[in-house]
Structure 1
Amino acid sequence: MDRGKQNSETAFGRAPGRFSAILRIGFVALSAAAGLASDASAQNFSWFNFGPTGNDGPSYTTNRTDPDFVREWEANPPKGFATLAKANIEATKMAVRQYTMIVGKGGWPQIPEPPPKTPRDSLMQYGTTDRAVALLRARLAASGEFRGTNTTSNYFDNELEKALQRYQAANGLAPTGIADKRTIAALNVPADVRLKQLKVNLTRLQEAIPATAKRYVVVNIPAAHIEAVENGAIVARYAGVVGKPERPTPLLRTPITDLNFNPMWRLPPTVISEDLIPRGREMQKKGQNVLVKFGIDAYAGGKKVDPQSINWEKVTPGTYTYSQKPGKENPLGFLKINFNNAHSVYMHDTPSDRIFGRNFRSESSGCIRVHNIEKLAAWLLAGQNGWSASRIAQVKEQGQRLDVRLKQPVQLLFVYISAWATEDGVVQFRRDIYQKDGIGEVASSY
């Protein structure tokens, strides 16, 4: 088989349309050995895409060992299926039954982890011969990604590489086909833990999906993805940055009401208490001023305060309010998306987009950073007189300060879905980053 051949599959499943056929056979997996599909049925499963996913879709290099491939994949995820698609409820019920069978058969084997700071050439990948390779085959056979007949070979061949890529894509990892430390940690989450996650998340899906409107935006926190959805079909998927575990992004359901182009940043309470004031005290000891360095203004009673007059050792949250004018240092970038909520959170651009190319993107103070946010803005403003993608690009280029209210508010949901299945039978898992699934740290640390 040509290892460079492009594949027409996607990380989140195929383009929608064959749900009834797939579910009629019960994922096929239920009629085989706890997740193993027959060869004929396996050809109907789709998992990832290394080529264009449409005229406006990302294009990935076929060299999956190239770090640029990982960055491109993470920053520009394929559209796939909507996380809150109605079909996902029945699909996830089927996945619960599938994983109940897997657990009943004893689960899957554990893969030995590579030692710390392992050289790249000693990781399991195409061409490796090692006893652990046979364990990897058995592990992927148990959950259904490896569909070959030879589950005992110690040689890492093309068939196993494809199986590992399928697994990685369905578990929120860039499908490199290399069994690195992070991938092995995900593989080693026990089957009974994955079953518990599916059951917990089935309830979440059953609560969230019926509440979705015809047109909505959803942020799935564990996946760090933002989806624009219309009439049940996903229009676009964007990489995002979500809150750190110590500053979690809240769950919410509220309409998006307005957009601020080239906005002023009004520092939220968490940033003031946990970042600005400690940094102010630290810099003051060095004879520096945090407000001057970062171009932040402090106000008391609505009046601007001389930054040099502030003694940071005496400042407490509530002493002042703070804001930062639009510019290169402004962490909101050129766009802020607003919605009513009690948590002082919002969605926004960022002046630095390198973080979107990382796999783990739980780095904010609770707000959501959105990659390619101008495309999301164009979708939100679609049909609104005077607004188009070119107008948004012009506003960005000129640094024009504008506030725009949506004539038709768009529903927004922040959800926590860490395990689900899509209508093509693909079972998805993401890190339980806030440990909400009741399973401890086992599925949050990779």
Structure 2
Amino acid sequence: MTIVSLPRTAPRVLRAFFMFAAVMTLWVLGTAPAQAQVTAFRQAVAESAARDEDLATFYRARDFQGIWAGDDRAATTRRNALLTALSNAGAHGLPEARYNAEEMIAQLQAATTPTQQGAMEVALSTAFLTYARDVQTGILTPSKVVPLIVREVPLRSRLATLQGFLQSNPDAFLRALPPSSPEYARLMREKLRLENLLAQGGYGPAVQASSLAPGASGQAVVDLRNRLILMGHLDRTATQTYDATIQAAVQRFQQSMGLSADGTAGSDTMKEINVPLDKRMQSVIVAMERERWINRPRGLRHIWVNLTDFTATIVDNDRVTFSTRSVIGASETDRQSPEFSDVMEYMVINPSWYVPRSIVVNEYLPQLQSNSNAVSHLDVTDRSGNVVPRGSVKAGNYTARTFPYSMRQGPSERNALGLVKFMFPNKYNIYLHDTPSKSLFSRESRAFSHGCIRLNDPFDFAYALLAKQESNPEALFQSRLKTGAESRVTLEEPVPVHIVYRTAFTNVTGALQFRRDVYGRDAAIWNALSQTGVAVRAVQG
């Protein structure tokens, strides 16, 4: 693990700013005749910008005049605003070397001819566009790192970004580029807090015990006590015994990790207790990158499904108004739940289950080949949806590729979808639904489905959604349910759905929460970020 240690401010860069201001009055002035200087500068801008279509279009519209060059107030303000933003890139969990402000200043100081200055004009615009995209919508292309992150990142037009910057207050424009969500601000604040803590030694020594229970004493309990204090779960105390105060602190820690909060530091709890601070900081940095991937309005009312937290919530005006436990896709690659956003349009009460093709041919066809009466709770249907008698199926004559039938389960309490499903039609065939397998919701880790999201309280979830359009949502729902017939209820105001994966996030009070990396996705994202130069920092307070 590479940890970069630096002061809270960056005085060398600030000193360089003053040096830079002293020499910039000479930029594009030189000693050659003025017209020759202008011609050489514009020619250099044209040649340097030609390699980038957006920059070529931007400068062509300006007759290749600069926006950074010169000693006028507007150019000076733009330069200083950009260099300040670049010097602070590490605060956003971005790779500082990618926007090395000191090196940029040195290159500007060394640019003494109009040709060199024209090239640096375009270099500044290039650095601006790189930083703007990185801080606004992320460094990585998510699907290239994890194929099941099928989210559409809301990339902004580079040309429009540059034009918008030119027409705005430079400092204000750059400050507005990162996500404006409260979660991003809280993650950034927590990142700085952890950086200060890391500079002071982090969480201290690991606890040398596989488990600890109330009543225990000794050095392991002291180390546990100290780590809980540094994590913010325990007020300062001199106790050396696993007493009631430590038990309560362990419960708070367990709650912050999504563990069963019994107050006993068993093996799972101890494993999480001993995760080093720099590893936790990686999760926060990954969460900030993920927040940039979703940098668009989420909807005044939206549904937020955090796969790692095994929950589905309804959020109204940034406040959670309903929450339920969920079961997500199993850890096998072909069963994991994908990550994406869509819009919920309707719910189906007493749904039929149309078995996905992959399940039909991979799980049920082999059973039918051994026994034509296997999976008798399912109907075999032809291409028109008509039920085919089991005796005429002849499953042994087909392979997974050639099997011509589909399978369907009609409405019932035993239906795999339970008694209601919530639809946001998508090409991944993922939705939220009820389930007859209620026992799974009592488990701490709940990755068991084929990819869809099962809800522990689907009826209450439906009532909460329908409350916006029905005076008595429960009565409407129950009246449809009692018929036993499949029934569709359209949401008058469709609701955005965001299926996300956050191993670090904040709760309603702003306190930092961590969850296990159930699919190993955040580890892959961190590896990709570190390859770009992102590093965990220790910052002196």
The answer to whether TM tops 0.5 is yes
Residue identity over aligned pairs, in percent, reads 27
Determine whether 1:304 maps to 2:387.
Answer: yes
Q: Distance in 1 between matches of 2:433 and 2:194?
A: 38
Higher helix share: 2
Q: Distance in 2 between matches of 1:386 and 1:233?
A: 22
Give the C-alpha shift of residue 148 in structure 1.
Answer: 1.9
Distance 1:280 1:154, change over 3 A: farther
Determine whether 1:240 maps to 2:320.
Answer: no
Aligned to 2:521: 436
Give the C-alpha shift of residue 315 in structure 1.
Answer: 3.7
Give the C-alpha shift of residue 243 in structure 1.
Answer: 0.8
Distance 1:233 1:85, change over 3 A: farther
SS for the counterpart of 2:491 is: strand
Give the C-alpha shift of residue 186 in structure 1.
Answer: 1.6
> Which amino acid is 1:258 matched to?
Y
How many matched pairs? 343
Aligned to 1:110: 206
8 Å contact kept, 2:322–2:464 = no
Aligned to 1:129: 217
Distance 1:85 1:259, change over 3 A: farther
RMSD: 2.5
Give the C-alpha shift of residue 248 in structure 1.
Answer: 1.2
Aligned to 2:374: 290
Q: Distance in 1 between matches of 2:384 and 2:209?
A: 58
8 Å contact kept, 1:263–1:336 = yes
Aligned to 1:419: 504
Of residues 187-196 and 97-106 in structure 1, the stretch that sits farther from structure 2 once superposed is 97-106
Question: Which structure is richer in relative contact order (CA contacts within 8 A, separation 6 or more)?
Answer: 1
Q: Distance in 2 between matches of 1:257 and 1:139?
A: 47
SS for the counterpart of 2:488 is: strand
8 Å contact kept, 1:91–1:422 = no
Aligned to 2:196: 101
Q: Distance in 1 between matches of 2:453 and 2:351?
A: 15
**In the TM superposition, what whole-angstrom CA distance separates every residue of 1:367-408 from its partner, at most 9, and x where no partner exists?**
000111111111222243576113323433453431112222
8 Å contact kept, 1:215–1:411 = yes
**In the TM superposition, what whole-angstrom CA distance separates every residue of 1:70-109 from its partner, at most 9, and x where no partner exists?**
xxxxxxxxxxxxxx99322211111111222333334333
8 Å contact kept, 2:411–2:485 = no
SS for the counterpart of 1:189 is: coil
8 Å contact kept, 1:173–1:183 = yes
Aligned to 2:71: none
Q: Distance in 1 between matches of 2:451 and 2:253?
A: 29
Determine whether 1:252 maps to 2:252.
Answer: no
Aligned to 1:375: 460
8 Å contact kept, 2:328–2:337 = yes
1:314-393 aligned within 5 A: 314-317=398-401, 319-385=404-470, 388-393=473-478
Determine whether 1:162 maps to 2:245.
Answer: no
Using the size of structure 2 for normalisation, the TM-score is 0.59
Q: Distance in 2 between matches of 1:392 and 1:164?
A: 42
**In the TM superposition, what whole-angstrom CA distance separates every residue of 1:246-286 from its partner, at most 9, and x where no partner exists?**
211111111101111011100113322443234444xx1xx
Q: Distance in 2 between matches of 1:203 and 1:211?
A: 16
Q: Distance in 2 between matches of 1:414 and 1:113?
A: 37
Aligned to 2:351: 263
8 Å contact kept, 1:324–1:330 = yes
Give the C-alpha shift of residue 301 in structure 1.
Answer: 4.8
**In the TM superposition, what whole-angstrom CA distance separates every residue of 1:213-234 from its partner, at most 9, and x where no partner exists?**
1111111111111010111111
Distance 1:162 1:411, change over 3 A: same
Q: Distance in 1 between matches of 2:507 and 2:465?
A: 26
Give the C-alpha shift of residue 439 in structure 1.
Answer: 6.1
**In the TM superposition, what whole-angstrom CA distance separates every residue of 1:393-430 from its partner, at most 9, and x where no partner exists?**
34334534311122221111111111023463411101
Distance 1:387 1:250, change over 3 A: farther
> Which amino acid is 1:226 matched to?
A
Larger Rg: 2
Q: Distance in 2 between matches of 1:129 and 1:355?
A: 36
Aligned to 2:227: 139
Determine whether 1:91 maps to 2:186.
Answer: yes
Using the size of structure 1 for normalisation, the TM-score is 0.71
8 Å contact kept, 1:193–1:439 = no
**In the TM superposition, what whole-angstrom CA distance separates every residue of 1:318-353 from its partner, at most 9, and x where no partner exists?**
622111011132111100111121101111001121
Q: Which runs of 5+ in 1 are unaligned?
A: 1-83, 115-122, 442-446
8 Å contact kept, 1:300–1:321 = yes
Give the C-alpha shift of residue 149 in structure 1.
Answer: 2.8
Give the C-alpha shift of residue 366 in structure 1.
Answer: 0.6
Distance 1:113 1:390, change over 3 A: farther
Q: Distance in 2 between matches of 1:186 and 1:271?
A: 36
Q: Distance in 2 between matches of 1:211 and 1:199?
A: 21
Determine whether 1:215 maps to 2:311.
Answer: no
Distance 1:311 1:154, change over 3 A: farther
8 Å contact kept, 2:372–2:390 = no
